[in-house]
Amino acid sequence: MERFHYLDWIAIGVYLLFAMGVGITLTRRASRSTGDFYLAGRSLPWWVAGTSLVATSFAADTPLVVAGWVRSGGISMNWLWWGMAVGGSLTFVVLAGWWRRLEVTTDAEIIERRYHGRPARFLRGFYGAYHSMITNTVVLMWVLVAMKKLVRVVLDVEDQSMDGWIVGGALVLALSYSFLSGLWGVVITDLFQFVLALVGAFLLAWKAIDALGGFSEAHAAFAELPKHITTLFPTDADPVTGISPGWTAMSWWTAGFGSFIIYFGLQGWLNKNADGGGIGVQRYSACKDENHARGAALWFHLTHYCLRPWPWILVGLASLILIDPAALPQLVGADGSLSPDHEAAYPMMMAEYLGPGLFGLLCASFLAAFMSTLDTHFNLASAYVVNDLYRRFLAPGKGDRHYVWVGRFAEIGIAIIAGIFATIADSIAGLFTFSLSLLGGLGPAMLLRWFWWRANTWTEVSALLTSTVMTVLTMTSKLGAETSVIDLPYPVSYIVVVGASLLVCLIVTLLTEPVNREHLATFYARVRPVGAWKPFGANPKGQVFAILAGWGGGIALIYGLLFGIGGLLLGGAFVLPFCCALIGAIVLRWSWPHTAV
């Protein structure tokens, strides 16, 4: 507590007053209907919805994880999430617009719009329970774990018996305005939180570089680090001989170039957010129209991948030089061994290199990032409970105000469950990869629902069950077990999970009855998807080519900017990446109006 100056407390206090003021001010507006509480009246412009998505994905855990990866395995470890820009580009090309046309409240609602009959009703209800109680809870857990670690370092608290108080206080703060103002409060505060969190991240990066003597000295210091730390693409070449063991070695697939192939070529588009993800769907559905939804997706992906990671990466690299691994807290492994907690390096850099006022500003930015993520997941989990369970099956026909209050108390219940599990978890990265695998096998089925008329309810049921079973068999060690039944390291285990799920869901689809033709015709007329929909209409001339061109252009734009900015900051090549980004932008701009037929 001694390291806090009164200026630090002022910075934190101002933010808290702002957040609470927004929650109280918007309470009446959010209480009018579930459409206001969960979708902000479907009136959001692209820049508000997109910025809200960026703020939500920037949680207290994100800088800790990224900086920890840089320290433990190098910059290239970020391909675990950089690769997802491949599938993300398809979202702003077509999928975000299709979701807005469908006018759902949650992504679970598509099940009864796309499929038909009792199995579809059951699956929608199951998704409502699964996403509210499991997938959202896992995310809440790792965000709370990150806040727990941050508070331990910032307040210099070594007694882990305080974890319950830390987690409980964090939950009360995050629930305060989400409970009152719903999505209205979330998106308005997200605008402020995004700016504050981004400014805080760049401030710490600037201070870290300044501690090394400036950019010239920092570039020289980074050049002295092992090559596998600073390279943008994974390599398992021997640091002395430069020889790689080749693709037959497991290390080539887990830490070498093979891991890049998996992240970019498989996980990048066949993942749990293959067609937008629950949070994305909620924001796209809340936009004014489909063009605003696509614009929100584009703005989110550009900011998420190209702008935000670099200050965290710079801090991670600088911390390798400025912080001795022996000074880090120690994690206890399943076998009792100790290892440095690299995720704690980021808050240690904050405590060491930020003075009064700036330290409080960055603490406030972490608090903002933390709250923007938690309140979104509280609101979304509540939407699943109300929209896909309570109103649909348990208590239909009630008034909107009744459902809003049920949703508010659902947020409290979900917060309690996440808080209990967060007090006993310590690894953010382990929870993250487990969550990716858990629903990774559902990715193929999520895309098939849009691009193949033959997909049915059993396509998704079989993919979900296979993905869950295979994840438990291959990745239970990520949750603290001594080993997994099938002992495969990540991301090789991801190939097994997705491959098995894809094979099973295709076989099940062909062995089961297709969806009712009349029901499918209604869905087709509403969404106007492209792909294998020949029984219901031909693809508009040139639209498929425009979609593929826009998809490729979007990928070139994102990765060109990502590596161009990285080259500038790290003293590497940047002209060629920026040229690729420019070409991608031109192609995307040409294709934009042609993909929305």
Positions of E strands within 336-492:
338-340
Q: What is the DSSP string of 211-278?
A: HTTSHHHHHHHHHTS-HHHH-SS-----TTT-----TTSHHHHHTSHHHHHHIIIIITTSSTTTT--H
Per-residue pLDDT of the chain (597 residues; tens, 9 = 90+): 455 666 777 777 777 777 777 666 766 665 667 877 888 889 999 999 999 999 888 776 788 889 999 998 899 999 989 999 999 999 999 999 999 999 999 999 999 999 999 999 999 999 999 888 888 877 777 677 766 666 766 666 665 656 666 667 667 777 776 766 677 778 888 888 888 888 888 999 999 999 999 999 999 999 999 888 999 988 776 655 556 677 777 878 887 888 899 999 999 998 888 999 899 999 999 999 999 999 999 999 999 999 999 999 999 999 999 998 888 877 766 566 777 888 788 888 988 888 777 777 777 777 777 777 888 888 898 999 999 999 999 999 898 889 988 988 888 888 888 777 666 655 555 566 777 777 888 999 999 999 999 999 999 999 999 998 998 888 765 555 556 667 788 888 899 999 999 999 999 999 999 999 999 999 999 999 999 999 898 788 889 999 999 999 999 999 999 999 999 999 888 999 999 999 999 999 999 998 876
215 and 124, same structural domain? yes
φ/ψ of 452, rounded to 5, equals -140, 120
CATH label of the domain that carries residue 185: 1.20.1730.10
The residue assigned the tokens 């996440």 is 418
Q: Give yes or no for a contact between 142 and 419, defined as CB atoms under 8 angstroms apart.
A: no
Asked whether residue 370 is assigned to any structural domain, the reply reads yes
388 and 447, same structural domain? yes
434 and 294, same structural domain? yes
Q: Could you tell me the CA-to-CA distances from 250 to 69, 253, 257, 476 in Å, in that order?
A: 20, 5, 11, 20
Number of residues written out for the chain: 597
Q: What is the DSSP string of 393-454?
A: IISTT--HHHHHHHHHHHHHHHHHHHHHHHTT---HHHHHHHHHHHHHTTHHHHHHHHHBTT
Amino acid sitting at position 561: L
596 and 466, same structural domain? no
Asked whether residue 1 is assigned to any structural domain, the reply reads no
φ/ψ of 332, rounded to 5, equals -95, 120
The first and second tokens of residue 153, run together, are 């370092």
Question: What residues have CB less than 8 Å from 87, skipping those under 6 apart?
Answer: 268, 269, 270, 271, 273, 274, 443
Task: Say how many domains are in the chain.
Answer: 2
- Structural domain of residue 165, as residue ranges? 6-537
Q: Is 572 helix (H, G, I), strand (E, B) or coil?
A: coil
pTM score of the predicted model: 0.89
End residue of a domain, out of 493, 520, 537: 537
449 and 595, same structural domain? no
124 and 164, same structural domain? yes
User: Which has the closest alpha carbon to 198: 307, 301, 296?
Assistant: 307
